[in-house]
Amino acid sequence: MTVTRFQDLPLADRDRAWDGDAADKRVRDWADAEDEPDAAYRDAHIWYDGDKPDNFTSYKLLIADVIDNRLKAVPRAIMAAGAIMQGARGGIDIPTDEVDRVKAHLARYYKKMGDSPPWDR
C-alpha cells in the first residue's frame, strides 16, 4: 500500500469539467499503459496498492488528465478526491494508517489552488 509521490503537476483551469472515466482512458494512452499500469500512469493518482501494482484496479483517486499532451491536475478532480476523503460518496477503501498521508498530498494541491481542503474548514 502506498501514497504516490507528490508530482506538483500544473493545474488545469479551475472550471474544467471532470470525467474520471474519460480522463483514465487519456492517461492510459498518454502513459503508454494500455496493457498494465506504469510509473507515468501512477503519477496521475494519489494512492495505489503497492502489493498489486500491475492491476489497474489498484489505483485510486485519479486527479489528473492529459491536456495539450501534458499531465495536469484537475481542480474538480482534486475536489472530488477531497470529498471522498471527507467521507462523501461512500469513502474509499484504503488502509487507515495511510489516510493522513493521502490528505496531506491532496492538501498540497488545495494550497496550490489557493484553497483549503474540506477537512480543514
Q: Say if residues 51 and 1 touch (Cβ distance below 8 Å).
A: yes
Output the average pLDDT for the chain. 94
Q: Tell me: the pLDDT tens digits for 21-38?
A: 999 999 999 999 999 999
Q: How many CB atoms lie within 10 A of CB 114?
A: 8
Please state the domain count of the chain.
Answer: 1
Q: Tell me: the pLDDT tens digits for 42-62?
A: 999 999 999 999 999 999 999
Range of the domain at 29: 2-120
- Write down the pTM of the prediction: 0.93
Give the span between the Cα atoms of 19 and 1, in whole angstroms. Answer: 26
